[in-house]
Amino acid sequence: MACSRYEYVKTYEQDDTILPNVWIVIRIDGKKFHKFSKTHNFEKPNDENALNVMNAAATAVMQEFRDVVLAYGQSDEYSFVFRKETAAFKRRSAKLLTYVTSLFSTSYVMQWSKWMCLPLAYAPCFDGRVVLYPSDENLRDYLSWRQADVHVNNLYNTAFWKLVLDSGLSNQKAEERLRGTFSADKNELLFQEFGINYNNLPAMYRKGTILLRKRVISDGDNDQKGRQAIVPLHEDLISSHFWKVHTEILGKYVPGTYTAPEIMPRLVDLQLNTKQEKGDYEKKQPENLAGIS
Ligand code: GTP
Ligand code: MG
């Protein structure tokens, strides 16, 4: 095929292939979510449904990218860990980053009405970055860093909003009250003044959400192999216990099992019963649309 004289411009494109044999982490973060959460009346300091919109959008990313072995989310951010050997998009950094970020953003919008009561006021957007980690230890330290961040922020925010919403302090006074305090002080304040044992607050708020691909075994399930789904866990990933239980993350990638709790998390239920959902949707179509495919 003849080349046009403009073809040379292609040589300006830079090769951004990621090195072989490294953990690829893509972290996305909501743009100006301080304002976005205010506009959409998120509960303070944690809005369970809003966090589940994030979890559901991340689940969509994991469904698309089978090579994401773990995703970790908290507040308005999510990290996606690709297995070291992934060949997705020939390991081209910009392709991976833009695909994950845009799929997350569009999925966030698609999931919104499944969890939230009020409509989206404007389009949310997310930035993204790629970070590479050469060793398992580096990867664990990265995830521990993000989980430690949840702990520090959530303890502070829980105490802050109790002082403001329950005790009627101004934002400034609450800030002053907490300035220079240690974790133990904030725990004590919550217990003494509000009767709250911080460790009894929902684990999703304290630990963030870890998404793993698992075979779901539920009571009365005849098929003991289980069906695969992305499941949310709110465990302590800083401890070595977590890595001993979920060996598939660092080792040979064979999804482990997940014994469904009595009440199946809606996030999992939606995946296992997607056909039923489609059926419901079809039933809701106006009659004059029936039959149009
Ligand atoms: P940029 O990321 O720099 O654009 O700023 P940002 O406003 O998104 O702040 P950042 O990413 O540092 O922090 C996320 C912000 O989102 C928090 O400070 C909260 O204001 C808000 N946010 C996230 N999750 C929740 C939630 O469940 N409830 C409430 N009320 N706010 C939340
Ligand atoms: Mg943000």
Q: Looking at residue 30, what DSSP letter applies? A: E
The whole-angstrom separation of Cα 293 and Cα 289 is 9
pLDDT of residue 293: 29
Lining ligand 1 with CB less than 6 A are 29-34, 37, 42, 44-47, 50-51, 75-76
Percent of the chain, pLDDT > 90? 83
Which residue intervals of the chain are DSSP H helices? Answer: 33-39, 48-64, 93-115, 136-161, 171-178, 183-194, 203-207, 240-245, 266-272, 274-284
Instruction: For residue 163, name the pLDDT band (cuts at 50, 70, 90).
Output: very high
Please check the confidence at residue 258 and state whether its pLDDT lies above 50. Answer: yes
Q: Residue type at 289?
A: L
Q: Which atom of ligand 1 is nearest to the CA of 77?
A: 11
Of residues 251 and 74, the one with the higher pLDDT is 74
Domain ranges of the chain: 14-143, 150-205, 210-277
Instruction: For residue 221, name the pLDDT band (cuts at 50, 70, 90).
Output: low
Instruction: For residue 1, name the pLDDT band (cuts at 50, 70, 90).
Output: low
pLDDT of residue 255: 80
Range 14-143: architecture per CATH: 2-Layer Sandwich (3.30)
**Cα radius of gyration rounded to whole Å, the chain:** 22
Q: How far is the CA of 30 from the centre of ligand 2 (A)?
A: 4
92-110 pLDDT, tens per residue?
999 999 999 999 999 999 9
Total Cβ atoms within 10 A of residue 11: 7
The first and second tokens of residue 13, run together, are 């494109």
Instruction: For residue 2, name the pLDDT band (cuts at 50, 70, 90).
Output: low
Backbone phi, then psi, for 251, in 5-degree steps?
-95, -150
112-154 pLDDT, tens per residue?
999 999 999 999 999 999 999 999 999 999 999 999 999 999 9
Residues 230, 212 contacting (CB under 8 angstroms): yes
Q: Which residues are annotated as a binding site for Mg(2+)?
A: 29-30, 76
34-85 pLDDT, tens per residue?
999 999 999 999 999 999 999 999 999 999 999 999 999 999 999 999 999 9
**Mean of pLDDT values over 162-166:** 96
Q: Which residues are annotated as a binding site for GTP?
A: 29-34, 75-76
Backbone phi, then psi, for 232, in 5-degree steps?
-90, 130
Least confident segment among 68-72, 112-116, 254-258, 277-281: 277-281
The whole-angstrom separation of Cα 71 and Cα 79 is 5
The whole-angstrom separation of Cα 94 and Cα 105 is 16
6-29 pLDDT, tens per residue?
999 999 999 999 999 999 999 999
Q: How far is the CA of 37 from the centre of ligand 1 (A)?
A: 7
Q: Are strands 209-217 and 257-259 parallel, antiparallel or unpaired?
A: parallel
The first and second tokens of residue 110, run together, are 């698609």
pLDDT of residue 223: 61
Please check the confidence at residue 286 and state whether its pLDDT lies above 90. Answer: no
Nearest residue (by CA) to ligand 1, atom 28, is 46
Q: How far is the CA of 266 from the centre of ligand 1 (A)?
A: 24
Q: 271 to each of 69, 121, 244, how far by Cα in Å?
A: 18, 27, 27
Q: Are strands 126-133 and 227-233 parallel, antiparallel or unpaired?
A: unpaired
Instruction: For residue 285, name the pLDDT band (cuts at 50, 70, 90).
Output: very low
Total Cβ atoms within 10 A of residue 257: 13
Average pLDDT over the chain, rounded to whole?
A: 91
By most ligand atoms within 8 Å of CB, the mutation choice from 27, 29, 31, 34 for ligand 1 is 34
Quote the pTM value: 0.91
pLDDT of residue 117: 95
